[in-house]
Amino acid sequence: MKKLYRLFIAAAAALVMLPSCSQLLEPEPYGLVDLDLVWTKYNYTSSLVGTIGKAAEWRSTLDYAPFCDEAQHVQDRTGGVYYNWYNIDFLSGNYPMGSGYTNIYNNIRTINFYLTNNYKISFTNVDDLELEYWEVKAHLYRAWYYFMLMKRFAQAVIFTECYDLNETFTDAKLNNVEEIADFIIQELDLCLAATENESSPYTFRWKPGSYSICRGWAWVLKARTAMYAASPLYYTEGSKYTWEYAYQINKQAVDELRAHGYTLFNEQPKDSYALNCYDYYHIFKSDPARLTDNETILGNGGQLAMWQSYGLPTTKGRLSCGICPTQELVDCYETIDGEPILDLEQPYLDEAHLQPNYNRNNTLYDPENPYENRDPRFYSSIYYNNAPRWWIKPDSLRVETFVGGNCGISDDAKSVYYTRTGYYIRKFNCDRSGDENGNMDGRVHNARLAEMYLNLAECACESGHFEDAYDYTNLVRERVGMPDLPDGLSQDQLRLRIRNERRVELAFENFRWDDVRRWKIIDQTEEHVTGMRITKGDDGKLTYKRFSFGPRTNKGHFKYLLFPMSETEVNKMKYLTGDDWQTPGWE
């Protein structure tokens, strides 16, 4: 009899130990289960399939913002993970950003167990469409897990079998980015070839009826895979994943999404519920039926509590201000005429970012009145000095981030209520949320059409399809009332504008961490971040002064482009294969 301890490595035992399964399967002494029973009843197999994707790491928080140049965490000086990130040059053994390596492979093993054994299904109370959907789910999540491995390590071992504990793995080899990307796209093409019946809950559909896996998500993942593989960090000479190849896949993905009803959210808020449609989208309630929201491709259902965890000091019941937007992010928001504030080719004249290199063509920006005439997304995303606390009554209370103001910048290392940078996050935050009205805040979307437009624009720019690069960037800008990009930009200038557009449109959506790495620009972005200290004179005049938090120790070093493997895994594979699998640069 095959026992659980014979079939599963480490945490993979969770496969049948979840409550839903353990109540169904008849346990033997010591809690061991005969896995052959899994294939004998519908409830057993469907429970197993239900575990696939349970640990997919959909991002429902703002995890990565304080670890890149988007934000500084309020707990930056009191010990713990944020203090360590800013002040320690890590080795592989103490790297704080959990790579998920073991967990990902455990999940892949669960999937492989299902795919290599589902021919044993012996019950008949299931139709062919549902059986096919189970397979699609397994292949799609396997693609997702390998995408995570590809982007974090730029190498992985492709397993499609379910090995037992006697496997020596002496012949195991690391696959490169091209091989991994090929495998991911092969998995996704298999999914997209499956039966589609929009009226059946058991087919791989465009409208699944909930924010769960769907055909749109398969296209997103296929397009992202090609774009990442073509990016400077991952591309190697001779790979098929050129920018042209990535452009073709991304163009096909966007065409498919648009053909199936995906559009940018353009619902205008009523009764001052939000500032604009961009603001409204990020606090809009879940709309899995896609009656109004046809932009979200993959949500997560995880509602944020911005007012509480990232709140203003004036909000009753807040626990912390959490992460504070950097001056570098604020500098990225153009003025309403479409001109950047800074010269994007060299935004700062010094290493510490204290000397901004202003764009000479910008006539609207005033350093003495810096928050006027900005891109509408600035007002939707950032609480700044003199911002209205409530849109419905803008004159009743203003956010005062100047020293001594009601939300004033603080030098108290122990305080978690007041901003470190001179700014607070407003994105995802319904200004009515709080103790009195409850939580009405929004969600981080895992995939949405605006991201796909900007992915396509980037691939188009890099491959010389400049018309598409302009068109899809301008669609994103048009939604918020920003003017089109100016004609006649060089490829280098257009690249910088598209990258800046990503930074603004996708702020705090967990893309910036990946972007600066795949572009290989962390030496320009990760070492230094700044804030804005505002002081108010007796005459009421405000003085603005940029200040530095000091260097984030060695975070611009090339080794931080990728995750390290754990020492345990490295030593294990050295013993089994004789090869050092550690990520380059890490010890």
Task: For 557-586, write each residue's pLDDT tens digit.
Answer: 999 999 999 888 898 888 888 889 999 999
Task: Give the residues across from 424 on adjacent strands.
Answer: 383
245-260 confidence digits (pLDDT tens): 999 999 999 999 999 9
Cα separation, 298 vs 473, in Å, equals 21
Q: Could you please report the per-residue DSSP string of 236-262?
A: -TT-S--HHHHHHHHHHHHHHHHHTT-
Residue with tokens 């199936």: 260
Predicted confidence at residue 4, as pLDDT, reads 30
Q: Judge whether 321 and 422 are in contact, CB under 8 Å.
A: no
Give residue 433's identity as a one-letter amino acid code: S
C-alpha–C-alpha distance, residues 555 and 563, integer Å = 12
CA proximity to 279, closest of 116, 63, 480: 480
**Bridging pattern class, strands 71-73 and 323-325:** antiparallel
pLDDT of residue 270: 85
Structure tokens at 264: 């940018």
CB of 531 within 8 A of CB of 76?
Answer: no
- In the predicted model, residues of the chain with pLDDT beneath 50 are 1-33
Which strand (E) or helix (H) includes residue 447?
strand 447-448
pLDDT in tens, 300-351: 668 899 999 999 999 999 999 999 999 999 999 999 999 999 999 999 999 9
* Tens-place pLDDT, residues 425-475: 999 999 999 988 899 999 888 899 999 999 999 999 999 999 999 999 999
CB-CB contact of 473 with 485 (8 Å): yes
Tokens of 325: 């937007």
Contact assessment for residue 118 and residue 162, using Cβ atoms and an 8 Å cutoff: no
pLDDT confidence of residue 30: 38
Backbone angles phi, psi at 368, to 5 degrees: -90, -5
- pLDDT of amino acid 60: 67
* C-alpha neighbours within 13 Å on the C-beta side of residue 287: 17
Token pair in block for residue 529: 């971040």
How far apart are alpha carbons 481 and 70 in whole angstroms?
24
- Residues with Cβ within 8 Å of residue 536, at least 6 apart in sequence: 402, 403, 404, 405, 542, 543
Of 32, 6, 66, 4, the closest CA to residue 419 belongs to 66
Tell me, yes or no, if the pTM score tops 0.85.
yes
Distance CA 105, CA 152 (A): 13
pLDDT of amino acid 14? 36
**Residue 477: what residue type?**
R
467 in Cβ contact with 248 (< 8 Å): no
d(CA 569, CA 580): 10
pLDDT on residue 63: 87
* 374 secondary structure, DSSP code: B
Instruction: Please state, in angstroms and rounded to a whole number, the distance separating the CA atoms of residues 127 and 357.
Output: 65
With 0-12 CB in 10 A as exposed, 13-18 as middle and 19+ as buried, what is 540?
Answer: exposed
Judge contact between 329 and 85, C-beta under 8 A.
Answer: no
